[in-house]
Amino acid sequence: MIRNAKLFGLFAMIFVVSACSEHTEISFICEKDAENNYVLKWEVFPEKDSARIEIFESDNDSVFSGDPVKVTYVNDYIAVLPSQKNKVREFFKLKIGRTTSSIISNRFFDLDGVQNFRDVGGYVTRANKQMRWGKIFRSGYLTNMSEADKDVLKGLGVKTVVDLRSNKHSSQKPKTGVFTNYITLPISVNNFNEEVKDQILEGRFLKGDAHIYTQDCYRILIDDYTAQLSAFFDILLDENNYPLVYHCGYGKDRTGIVTYLLLKALDVPTGVAEDDYLLSNNYIDRSLIISDKNRPDMPGSMKDAVMMLVTADLSQLRYAVSCMKKKSGSVDDYMLKELKLTHEKREKLKQILLYN
């Protein structure tokens, strides 16, 4: 379904393709609506309101051929295209004159029993290379997948799961034959564990405590779990593991830090990596965690603490980055010295995850 309108600003910033002869920039976003239609939105700079815009569609991100599926005008700013039956995923390109956008698809998948499941692809690096769609996904825990959810993951071809949860929680993996590989890399920092829940319910854990607690979790992750983080990248360097999904609890903290490092390893701009971290706020359903319905007696101070724990806060991410810099001098040096992610490994990662 269509989410927060603020997302358009994010994707408009990310996806910009220019033709040198025309200096035309096409910015876009792709979402799914409640009827499962694709909704494409765009902006063009400089403005060409009366110009025609052609939309090309394919179920293969490597092949776009034939005539456009729709022709409209730049000043329409939006087009709704029906999803093709029996196809989990479709890809699009926009064309204005001689300028063609990069590859467009939906990032988020609205699953029944899984929160925050989204494609990490599509972002553009500093060298103007686009990440491949459909290779690597991030998510909340998969334990409660419905049969329809399993069909979606099968349709996406997901082969490998990397579970970043603690041993206690990763033992509760989904009972399904969907995946070929299920790999656990236990990172035992959890910003919503049983002890914290008890403290919240007893009124001994407030919003400020939640802020400090999350910072502590991030610092421990950066300082004490370099072996797991290094192993994660070794998994990504094996082409046989793709398509791949990695996850923690809600797909916000451990998954968020890992994704930030991945995007930085691929030379995706820092602002884009930060925005991807914040997208969890759009795709975690907080009503399933706390609501007046399931806890009508919970005072506002308790709710504030819980909300802090399930909210992606940019200051927390930047604190984690400061821990990397304190440990190694820079994010790049942290990846090199602590995670053993050499230049050669980063180049191989780019070969796997970027379009040529």
| DSSP string for 158-204 | --EEEE-S-HHHHTS----S--SEEEE------TT-HHHHHHHHTT-
One of 1.10.10.10, 3.40.50.11780, 3.90.190.10, 3.40.605.10 is the CATH number of 118-353, namely: 3.90.190.10
| Three-class secondary structure of residue 30 per DSSP | strand
State CA 121 to chain mean position distance: 8
Please tell me the distance from the alpha carbon of residue 183 to that of residue 186, in angstroms, as a whole number: 9
Strand 52-58, strand 99-100: pairing: unpaired
Q: Are 210 and 197 in contact (CB under 8 A)?
A: no
Identify the pLDDT of residue 118: 98
Q: How many CB atoms lie within 10 A of CB 183?
A: 17
Identify the pLDDT of residue 6: 39
State CA 202 to chain mean position distance: 34
Q: Which CATH architecture has domain 6-100?
A: Sandwich (2.60)
Q: Are 2 and 39 in contact (CB under 8 A)?
A: yes
Q: Are 49 and 117 in contact (CB under 8 A)?
A: no
Residues of the chain with CATH 2.60.40: 6-100
Question: Taking the model in full, what pTM does it have?
Answer: 0.90
Q: Residues in the chain with pLDDT < 50?
A: 1-21, 292-293
Identify the pLDDT of residue 14: 41
Identify the pLDDT of residue 174: 72
Please tell me the distance from the alpha carbon of residue 123 to that of residue 279, in angstroms, as a whole number: 14
Please tell me the distance from the alpha carbon of residue 118 to that of residue 138, in angstroms, as a whole number: 6
Identify the pLDDT of residue 166: 87
**Which residue in 249, 241, 138 sits closest to 182, CA to CA?**
241
Residues of the chain with CATH 3.90.190.10: 118-353
Contacts of 130 (CB under 8 A, 6+ apart): 102, 103, 121, 122, 123, 124, 354, 355
Identify the pLDDT of residue 191: 60
